[in-house]
Amino acid sequence: MNLSTAARAALATMCAAGALLATGCKEVQDIREELGWSQQKEAPPPPPVVSLDDRWVPADVAVADAAQTQWSSRWWQWASRFDGKAPYQDRDGSRCAEHQDGPVWFLAGTDGSFDAMRTCTIPADRHLFVPLITRAVGAGEPGETEALSCTQKQQRAANFVDHVYTGLVLLDGRPIGQYQRMRAAGESCFTLTSNDPAVATDGYWLMLKPLPPGQHTLAIAAAYREGPRQMMQNFQYTLEVQGAEQAADAAAVAEEGGAGFDDAADLADGVEAAD
């Protein structure tokens, strides 16, 4: 028996409605299979829901056996190692990889005088640590003749951060975390350089878990205001996160060329209590 496609489809529908005998439905079952009706694929499971908060490490959680207050001191020591232009004065991210090593990769903010658009290649499996806004105090204001104690420096750094009134982090275009929960104040003063043996710091810092390989966009804005004094910083990174194989190849090239970076963890040797 030859049936047109329309007639065969109608026959299959009638069988499904119970209008034909069982013997006729056997042929209809064959028709259904031929038409592909009985081979409909199941809907794929929905993708897992990943909260951006899952990427963020709150300020009271340690990373690589160090509190984030320690990482803030190490960040300032990292920033002080650059000759000439500091990393927070960099406009395009060309110095992003200098003096980097270890489990945490430092990113710079700005000095508040410009908006930065930077590009940075990050090795695989690195945490990222970057200031929303921060202050380091190593000496008094111009004209002050009396040296400040460590406690006084901490108070001045804290006063600056107390007057930060806004902060925003966008990862791949979506907000992450609450900036009020990102504050990390140094518990003691630390050595920045030989000329700055006792420096205090305070600020809002973002610690991110290692990002998946590929391209990501990280944008940060924050602002401080106290009377006539004010500061606003606004910067964005395009991050190229390497896969494990890419990172291994890059390490091999660096080793062959005799290049190497200072271990950020070694900076901890300079941290000391002072008062």
Per residue in 93-118, pLDDT (tens digit) is 999 999 998 999 999 999 999 999 99
Q: Which pTM was predicted?
A: 0.72
Tell me, rounded to whole angstroms, the distance of Cα 160 from its chain centroid: 24
Evaluate whether 272 touches 194 at the Cβ level (below 8 Å).
no
Express each pLDDT in 119-176 by its tens digit: 999 999 999 999 999 999 999 888 888 899 999 999 999 999 999 999 999 999 999 8
Residue 262 has pLDDT above 90, yes or no: no
CB atoms within 10 A of CB 111: 12
Spatial distance between the Cα atoms of 237 and 80, rounded to a whole number of angstroms: 21
Separation of alpha carbons 98 and 121, rounded Å: 11
Cα gap 83→87, rounded to integer Å: 10
pLDDT averaged over every residue in the chain: 81
CB 190 within 8 A of CB 70: no
Q: What is the pLDDT of residues 45-84, one digit of tens each?
A: 665 555 677 899 999 999 999 999 999 999 999 999 998 8
Q: Which of 33, 27, 3 is nearest to 15 (CA)?
A: 27
The arrangement of strands across the sheet holding 174-175 comes to 116-122, 229-241, 214-226, 164-171, 174-175
